[in-house]
Amino acid sequence: MTEPLILQPVKPADACVIWLHGLGADRYDFLPVAEALQETLLSTRFVLPQAPHRPVTINGGYEMPSWYDILAMSPARAINREQLEESANRVIELIEVQRASGIDASRIFLAGFSQGGAVVLHTAFLKWQGPLGGVVALSTYAPTFSDELQLSASQQRIPVLSMHGQYDDVVQNSMGRSAYEHLKLRGVTVTWQEYPMGHEVLPEEIRDIGVWLAERLR
């Protein structure tokens, strides 16, 4: 298993963001973003884990970095749930490492783009029991959310920033909006922001993430 990329802040770390990349990318994908955010988040550590290489069914079985296999695209994404659970457990292990280093769970954030975002939403709202600083869900969806979703009191208190492109043709805007609605309906403080973009990240979006994180790390 490839070790995560860890960016230490200029001041002693008292907060942490665990950031998962998307399908086919790697742990270096969001390194420039993390470096930009650390310019203002001076005591926030960033942990960038690497997904394992595995065959991806929808890509003809071609092996690539993937948090879980995607079996089919329609009518809704069919996924390998066992692999998703494995990835979520790995995120929980990373949370526990940060807690053991002295960072309070209420100052640990999960962030993820696309498939990585699906993993952090699943981790925060179906696996993790306890406080978290929040979740940043970028151009993503929630394949394990359903009408039967029930949240604990601690899960309801996890704030979420959902961000999506208006012209996303990889993860449709409506899929991200559905995840947002599931959380909003269950009393989560969740913010929805759209940008005039496709399946990507814009500088404006990164600035907005920085503001959102800073507000919760005062």
The band of 8, judged by pLDDT with boundaries at 50, 70 and 90, is very high
195: confidence class by pLDDT, cuts 50, 70, 90: very high
Q: Which of 21, 122, 168, 182 is catalytic?
A: 168
Q: Is 168 a catalytic residue?
A: yes
Mean pLDDT over 193-197 rounds to: 97
Q: How far apart are CA 206 and CA 33, in angstroms?
A: 7
Q: How confident is the model at residue 73 (pLDDT cuts 50, 70, 90)?
A: confident
In whole angstroms, what is the distance from residue 79 CA to residue 171 CA? 14
Write down the CATH superfamily of domain 5-216: Alpha/Beta hydrolase fold, catalytic domain (3.40.50.1820)
Residues forming a β-bridge with 79? 70
Backbone angles phi, psi at 196, to 5 degrees: -75, 75
pLDDT at residue 1 in the model: 76
pTM of the model: 0.96
d(CA 204, CA 199): 15
Which residue out of 66, 114, 139, 162 is catalytically annotated? 114
Identity of the residue numbered 190: V
Amino acid at 45: R
**Can 114 be counted among the known catalytic residues?**
yes
Determine phi and psi for 62, rounding to 5 degrees: -65, 135
For residue 133, how many other CB atoms are within 10 A of its CB?
22
What number of CA atoms fall less than 13 Å from residue 213's CA on the CB side?
30
Residue 49 and residue 111: Cα distance in Å, rounded? Answer: 11
3-state SS, residue 120: helix
How many CB atoms sit inside 10 A of residue 74's CB? 6
